[in-house]
A and B are shown apart, each in its own frame.
Chain A
Amino acid sequence: MGTLLVSEKTVVVPGQELATGMDYLPGFGAYRDGEHIVASQLGLLSVEGRAIKIIPLSGKYIPKNDDTVIAQVVDITLHGWRLEINSAYSAMLTLKDATSDFIARDADLTAYFNFGDWIVAGVANVTTQKLIDLTMKGPGLRKLGEGMIVRVGPSKIPRIIGKGGSMVSMIKEYTGCRIIVGQNGVLWIQGSPEGEMLAAKTIKEIEQHAHRSGLTERIKEFLGQFPKPEAVPLPPEEERPHRERRPFDPNRRPMRRSGGFR
């Protein structure tokens, strides 16, 4: 029978023994050394069933499959876009994953995503070499329009979202803003200038007090200090250039086939 050597939510240091016995499994930031589970990172201990993982106190974003991230276009290559995702490595978005449109050989890729554009994308695959593939195929994945970008530590993101999204929906409701949270610590806010500024301030407040308990109450109080910003109509959400599919026409001239004579 395994025993936990440190209690949950305490700060652990690299090399510290966390648990003994084969009943526990090492998760993120931990590894097995014989009978023991040992920490490899500085952070808060978290136990989920049999898995022992460490929530880092700070650090860059470490990409994980199926995460939703907010990324900025830094380069356009022959076959896609290179994006900065607040990680130690940049990510690739290939044409195939970006759109289902037909793109001709010499098409101008900036028509889809231009340099400096912000997009919300999903992490499709991360190799062991940390080559990161993104995809735009999924609900809500799109190019982001006008809005404010706020950066926080990626480890604070769960607190900003809150249980079942409670925290972020509270901010959305109070400020009248549209907020998209990327797992990589980048947030996008769209609303009235006052609303955006209050939302950004609140997010910074959460980041600062992320380790405290009773955070939702504290933030509710924090928001209450400020007058509720006037709600403004927001622009429509779908901004991805979308081409209509041509309906099937039985009388359409057949495509030219290669070979043969007419």
Chain B
Amino acid sequence: MNKELHAHMIKFLERGSRYDGRKPLEYRDILVEYGIVKNAEGSARVKIGETEVITGVKLVVDKPYPDTPEQGSLMVGAEFLPIANPDFEVGPPGIAAVELARVVDRGIRESKAIDVKKLCITAQEKVWTVIVDICTVNDAGNLFDVSALSAIAALQSTKFPEYADGKIQYGKLTDTPLPLADVPIEVTVFKIGKSYIVDPTPDEEKVYDARLTVAISRDGRLCALQKGGDVALSEDDIFAMIDIAAEKQHELREKLEG
């Protein structure tokens, strides 16, 4: 299946061009908007080309996990809405949606972006839990990078709601922002044949051999990796892909505020 498309795509990439006229390591236009959802404590909409994702952040007060009694927690969920792509079905998240959520989660978690110790209200009893919900609005390729960028943008815009006497007053936001220690950026590098590309189109996502999602912190630290696709990557491949991601992350980072 798609063997012809694969062979054809490689011919293009060998000449250093892609179907839509982009260079292999060129992103489409990136747009970040903050404060999209009124009822969320923080939200953002990110568009890369035609791909669009809206992410909302809710804050709730919950009991901490017994092994981390003085730390708040993070939950990331992603949903592939049928509105985004005719191949997406309604119902509980599938493997791809779970992978997307976990990749975004790991980037934020492992970069220690959220200062979880500052989310403690009363040790062993009450901590803030950060819930990040990723809604795909349109899938025109590269949901990984778009979702990760929208998640971190939504966290940046998050403000605590008013909290008194053990009750949260939703709708009334304070001026205290969520304590962010870092801003991780995720770049997914795809390998087709012998070429590397970023920001794939749906056609390219159909035929890629392997992909590597790289999460990089503000000071250039590598935080998380996720490999996908059917073909194995050599050590050289992985280093080359990390180098590409480390260079490309600046392009995404400068679209964020602050």
Asked if B12 is at the interface (CB within 8 A of a chain A CB), the reply is: yes
A145, CB-defined interface residue at 8 Å: yes
| B-side contacts of A124, CB under 8 Å | none
Give the docked Cα–Cα distance between A185 and B126 (Å).
60
A193–B11 CB distance below 8 A = yes
CB-based contact A116/B2 at 8 Å? yes
Taking a contact as CB atoms under 8 Å apart, the answer to whether A146 and B8 are in contact is yes
B66 sits at the interface (CB 8 A): no
Instruction: Output the nearest chain B residue to A200 by Cβ-Cβ distance.
Output: B19
* Per-residue contact bits, chain A 178-207, to B (CB 8 Å; 1 contact, 0 not): 000000000000000110010011000000
Name A195-223 residues within 8 Å CB distance of B.
197, 200-201
In the bound complex, residues from chain A placing their C-beta under 8 Å from that of B19 are 148, 197, 200
Taking CB atoms, residues of chain B closer than 8 Å to A197 are 17, 19, 21
8 Å CB interface, B1-57 against A? 1-2, 4-5, 7-8, 11-12, 15, 17, 19, 21
Is A41 an interface residue when CB atoms closer than 8 A count as contact? no
**Contact indicator B2/A193 (Cβ below 8 Å):** no
**1/0 contact string of A112-127 vs chain B (CB within 8 Å):** 0011110000000000
The residues of B that contact A117 with a CB separation of less than 8 Å are 4
Cβ B15 vs Cβ A116 within 8 A? no
| Alpha-carbon separation in the docked complex, A147 to B2 (Å) | 11
| A194 with B1: CB separation less than 8 A | no
> Do the beta carbons of A145 and B4 come within 8 Å of each other?
yes
Taken together as a complex, chains A and B put the C-alpha atoms of A151 and B78 apart, in Å, by 30
Give bound CA distance, A35 to B11, whole Å: 61
List B contacts of A148 (CB < 8 A). 8, 19
B: number of interface residues (CB 8 Å): 12
The chain B residue sitting closest to A117, CB to CB, is B4
Nearest-neighbour CB distance to chain B for A176, whole angstroms, equals 15
Q: How far is the CB of A111 from chain B (nearest CB, A)?
A: 14
CA gap between A114 and B5 in the complex, in Å? 13
Once bound together, how far apart are the Cα atoms of A7 and B10, in whole Å? 51
What is the CA–CA distance of A146 and B1 in the complex, to the nearest angstrom?
A: 12
Partner of B7, one of A114, A116, A146: A146
Complex Cα gap A178–B173 (Å):
61
Q: Are A194 and B15 in contact (CB under 8 A)?
A: yes
Chain B residue nearest to A148 in the complex (CB): B19
Neighbouring A residues of B8 by C-beta, 8 Å: 146-148
One digit per residue, 1 when the CB lies within 8 angstroms of any chain A CB and 0 when it does not, for chain B 46-83 equals: 00000000000000000000000000000000000000
Q: Closest Cβ of chain A: how far from B21's Cβ, in Å? A: 6
Interchain CA distance A146-B12 in the complex, whole Å: 12
Query: B14's closest neighbor in chain A, by CB?
Result: A193
| A197 and chain B: residue at smallest CB distance | B21
**A41 to B: closest C-beta gap in Å:** 25
Q: Which B residues are closer than 8 A to A by beta carbons? A: 1-2, 4-5, 7-8, 11-12, 15, 17, 19, 21
Which residues does A use to contact B, with CB under 8 Å? 114-117, 145-148, 193-194, 197, 200-201
For the complex of A and B, 3 pairs with smallest distance between CB atoms = A146-B8, A116-B1, A146-B4
